[in-house]
Amino acid sequence: MRGIGLATCLIGVSLMATLCPAAAESNPITANSAWFRYLLPQIPAGGFVTLHNTSATDIVLNGVQTAACGMAMLHRSVTRSGVDRMVMVNHVTIPAHGVFRFSPGGFHIMCMQPKMTPGTNVTVSFSFRNAPDLAIPFKVYGADGKPGAK
């Protein structure tokens, strides 16, 4: 299917259904409140977003990719024996008809070597085990963080 160009996909609705599944099928995952807290290029930036699953099936997020980070990982902040630390997460599940929140103090996108500027947007591509990839624009905030966020 990757070899089929956009022009072919635009020939007709009847063809789209069979030749262009990505165009014909809407993504069951939607996103809102996507933002990064950016401090300095040498300090990892934290990414936060709320993912909504509009389908009747649990959907698994496998990872994220973006040119705005040297490397981007799924992380979780945890407190063990009174010590705050972060652990890597291989995947997270967005429950059927539910939401999954990446938020300060919890799950976050760990952006190593961030390349971003407060006041601009960067795009992060989310890859799912059982849904199409989703490109999500993230608003970049500075040291003060997003107004209203913890």
> Binding to Cu ion by residue 75, rule CB under 5 A?
yes
Of 86, 100, 125, 127, which one interacts with Cu ion (CB under 5 A)?
86
Give the nearer residue to Cu ion in terms of CB position, either 37 or 75. 75
The distance of closest approach from Cβ of residue 85 to Cu ion in the complex, given in angstroms and rounded to an integer, is: 9
Task: Kindly state the number of chain residues that form the binding site for Cu ion, as judged by CB under 5 A.
Answer: 3
Q: Which amino acid does the sequence have at 82?
A: G
Query: Which range in 3-11, 80-88, 95-103, 142-150 contacts Cu ion by CB under 5 A?
Result: 80-88
> Binding to Cu ion by residue 37, rule CB under 5 A?
no
Query: Which range in 11-19, 52-60, 84-92, 94-102 contacts Cu ion by CB under 5 A?
Result: 84-92
Residues in Cβ contact with 13 at an 8 Å cutoff, skipping those fewer than 6 apart? none
Residue number with the shortest CB distance to Cu ion?
A: 75
Query: Which range in 17-25, 28-36, 83-91, 135-143 contacts Cu ion by CB under 5 A?
Result: 83-91
**Contact yes or no for 40/10 (Cβ under 8 A):** no
Task: Indicate the burial class of 103 (C-beta count within 10 angstroms; 0-12, 13-18, 19 or more).
Answer: middle
Cα separation, 85 vs 112, whole angstroms:
16
Give the nearer residue to Cu ion in terms of CB position, either 59 or 69. 69
Cα→Cα distances 130→3, 23, 53, 60, 63, Å: 22, 16, 12, 7, 12
Q: Give the ranges where the chain is alpha helix by DSSP (H).
A: 6-9, 13-19, 21-24
Binding site for Cu ion (CB under 5 A): 75, 86, 110
